[in-house]
Amino acid sequence: MKVNCFKAVLLYLLLTCFSAMSIADDSGITNLKQTSKAFSDVAKKASPAVVFIQVEGTATAQDNVLPSPFGNQSPFGDEFFRRFFGDSFPGAPMQPRSPGSQRKVMGQGSGFVFKTESGLLSDKAYILTNNHVIENADKITVTFNDGKEFSAEITGRDPQSDVAVIEIDAADIPALNMADSSELEVGEWVVAIGNPFGLSHTLTVGVVSAKGRTSVGINDYEDFIQTDAAINPGNSGGPLVSLAGEVVGINTAIFTRSGGYMGIGFAIPSNLAMSIANQLIDEGEVTRGYLGVFIQPLTVELADMFDIENGKGILVSQVAEDSPAARAGIKAGDVIIQYKGKDVVDVGDFRNRIALEGPEKKVELTILRDGEEKRLSVIIGALSSDETAESTSSDKAGELGITVRNITRELAERYGVNLTEGVLITDVQPGSVAYRAGIRAGQIIAQVNRETINNVDEFNKAIRASKKQDKVLLLIKTDTISRFVVVDW
Closest to 396 (Cα-Cα) out of 483, 478, 457: 457
Q: What is the mean pLDDT of residues 245-268?
A: 81
Closest to 54 (Cα-Cα) out of 105, 118, 117: 105
| pLDDT value at 21 more than 80 | no
Lowest mean pLDDT among 75-84, 112-121, 293-302, 372-381: 75-84
Q: What are the angstrom distances between the C-alpha of 316 and each of 220, 334, 350? A: 20, 5, 12
Residue 219 near residue 162 (C-beta atoms within 8 A):
yes
pLDDT at position 273: 92
pLDDT at position 151: 94
Q: What is the maximum span of the chain, computed from C-alpha positions, in angstroms?
A: 111
Indicate the DSSP class of residue 71: G
pLDDT at position 84: 43
| pLDDT value at 62 more than 50 | no
Q: What is the mean pLDDT of residues 93-102?
A: 51
38 vs 274: CA distance, rounded Å: 26
Tens of pLDDT along 330-371?
998 899 999 999 998 788 778 888 888 878 899 999 999 988
Of residues 412 and 394, more confidence is placed in: 412
261 pLDDT band (50/70/90 cuts)?
low
| pLDDT value at 399 more than 80 | no
119 pLDDT band (50/70/90 cuts)?
low
pLDDT > 90 fraction of the chain, expressed in percent and rounded: 26
Q: What's the mean pLDDT when you consider all of the chain?
A: 79
Highest-confidence range of 239-248, 263-272, 285-294, by mean pLDDT?
Answer: 239-248
pLDDT at position 482: 79
Q: Give the residue numbers marked as catalytic.
A: 132, 162, 236
pLDDT at position 85: 41
Residue 293 near residue 320 (C-beta atoms within 8 A):
yes
Q: Residues with Cβ < 8 Å from 46, sequence gap 6 or more?
A: 112, 176, 191, 193, 239, 241, 245
Domains of the chain: 49-168 (2.40.10.10), 181-283 (2.40.10.10), 288-383 (2.30.42.10), 389-488 (2.30.42.10)
pLDDT at position 301: 77
Name the β-bridge partners of 406.
423
pLDDT at position 152: 94
| pLDDT value at 86 more than 50 | no
Q: CA-CA-CA-CA torsion for 99, 100, 104, 108, nearest 10 degrees?
A: 80
Which pairs from 373-380 meet CB under 8 Å and 24+ separation?
373/337, 376/328, 376/329, 376/330, 377/328, 378/291, 378/324, 378/325, 378/327, 378/328, 378/330, 379/324, 379/327, 379/328, 380/289, 380/290, 380/291, 380/324, 380/354
| pLDDT value at 68 more than 50 | no
pLDDT at position 394: 36
Closest to 239 (Cα-Cα) out of 367, 129, 348: 129
pLDDT at position 89: 42
365 vs 372: CA distance, rounded Å: 14
97 vs 87: CA distance, rounded Å: 16
Q: Which amino acid is at 453?
A: I
pLDDT at position 10: 58
| pLDDT value at 58 more than 70 | yes
Tens of pLDDT along 214-224?
766 666 666 78
How many CB atoms neighbour CB 29 within 10 A? 10
170 pLDDT band (50/70/90 cuts)?
confident
Q: Residues with Cβ < 8 Å from 479, sequence gap 6 or more?
A: 416, 417, 418, 419
132 vs 80: CA distance, rounded Å: 8
pLDDT at position 444: 93
pLDDT at position 71: 34
- DSSP E strand boundaries for 4-138: 50-60, 102-113, 125-130
| pLDDT value at 79 more than 50 | no
Q: Are strands 362-369 and 381-383 parallel, antiparallel or unpaired?
A: unpaired
Of residues 302 and 454, more confidence is placed in: 454
pLDDT at position 249: 93
| pLDDT value at 269 more than 60 | yes
Residue 139 near residue 113 (C-beta atoms within 8 A):
no
Tens of pLDDT along 426-450?
888 777 888 888 898 889 999 998 8
Tens of pLDDT along 36-46?
788 888 888 88
Residue 81 near residue 232 (C-beta atoms within 8 A):
no
How many CB atoms neighbour CB 322 within 10 A? 9
Tens of pLDDT along 185-220?
998 999 999 888 877 788 888 899 988 777 666 666
Of residues 316 and 260, more confidence is placed in: 316
Name the β-bridge partners of 189.
207
Closest to 460 (Cα-Cα) out of 421, 419, 405, 420: 405
Q: Which amino acid is at 193?
A: I
Name the β-bridge partners of 383.
288
